[in-house]
Amino acid sequence: MTGRLTGAVPDDPEIRRLLDPYRLPDGRPLPLFEALAHSRAALDDLRRATAACLGAPALDARTREIAVLRVCARAGAETEWAVHVRMFAAEAGLGEAEIQATAAPRDAFPWPARDALVIRLADEIHDDSTVSDALWAALSQACTAQEIVELLLVVTQYHKVACLTNALGLRRPAGTPRMPRPAHGAARDID
């Protein structure tokens, strides 16, 4: 494991079993899951929340992954951004330009209207920990109530994930893509 925690994950068959579904294609455990395996309560919380986000029935993979990538980019959480690009971007149908645009200023890419709302939602939650009335009205026109709730679940959960990834100092796994840095500053400054 790479990051601020020292010491190996407990050599416990139950922990190994719990980590099995959370691995990169080459078999390495996902960095955040491996780090949180030091606390069974934290690992269980992450597993439940991840299942809820990835299984959100009203959201298609594209919408979910645009939200996740944008949240991670805004928070400067390259490790989680890279994991999601590696594991989910192709399934979500995201092209290279769209992937790169998740870390660019909001107006730097011609997002379709619904995707632009997802980007804006991730930005508002990141910046203000809430949703403006104007964005709520726009979301209400473009999404069902279930989609809005599930988007909020994804954005807030991955905001937490980004904070944990950064606080733990987790490094981007070898073989995963680098998150682009906007020309005008760090990923945390994009808008």
pLDDT of residue 10: 76
How many C-beta atoms lie closer than 10 Å to residue 62's C-beta? 19
Domains and CATH numbers, the chain: 60-181 (1.20.1290.10)
The predicted-structure confidence for 15-52, as pLDDT tens digits, reads as follows 989 999 999 999 999 999 999 999 999 999 999 999 99
Question: pTM for the whole thing?
Answer: 0.92
How many C-beta atoms lie closer than 10 Å to residue 155's C-beta? 23
Polymer length of the chain: 191
pLDDT of residue 5: 86
Share of the chain above pLDDT 90, in %: 86
Residue 189 predicted with pLDDT over 50: no
Residue, of 186 and 6, whose pLDDT is higher = 6
